[in-house]
Structures are given as structure tokens and as C-alpha cells.
């Protein structure tokens, strides 16, 4: 993810935090940690069903108002 063909830009401070957490949590790499977190978050929205459910979840998370 951070070194492969697909790239996501993450600011330097966040990347350092990701690296630390991934190591402490026992992930093989920061990529594996990010992949796991993104899979979990995406699954929540896929399970939501309708656009209204997704909007409510995003509001609850503070992403939209």
C-alpha cells in the first residue's frame, strides 16, 4: 500500500503513528494494519444497506453534518 503500485497519501505524523501501532499490535507491516482497519470500516458501510443508513453512519462518526 505504501510502497506498491496503489498509493494512498498519508501525512508523515500519521504514518509514524500507524507504524508504531502496527508493531505493538503484532501486525507484519503497517500495510497489513491499514488493510485490516480499512476492511473493517468498509464492511460497516456495506452492511448498512441503503444510502440513508450510510449517511446516518457517517453523521454518527462525525464525517458529515
Cβ pair 57, 44 in contact under 8 A:
yes
pLDDT given for residue 3 in this prediction: 54
pLDDT given for residue 57 in this prediction: 74
- CA–chain centroid gap for 35, Å, is 7
pLDDT given for residue 2 in this prediction: 56
- CA–chain centroid gap for 14, Å, is 12
Splitting the chain (65 residues) into consecutive groups of 10 residues, what average pLDDT does each group show? 72 96 96 93 77 78 78
pLDDT given for residue 1 in this prediction: 55
Which distant-in-sequence residues (6+ apart) come within 8 Å of 19 by Cβ? 30
Amino acid at each position: 500500500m505504501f510502497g506498491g503500485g496503489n498509493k494512498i497519501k498519508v501525512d508523515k505524523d500519521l504514518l509514524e503513528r500507524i507504524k508504531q501501532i502496527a508493531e505493538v499490535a503484532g501486525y507484519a507491516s503497517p500495510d497489513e494494519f491499514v488493510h485490516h482497519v480499512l476492511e473493517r470500516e468498509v464492511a460497516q458501510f456495506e452492511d448498512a444497506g441503503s444510502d440513508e443508513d450510510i449517511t446516518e453512519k457517517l453523521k454518527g462518526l462525525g464525517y458529515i453534518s
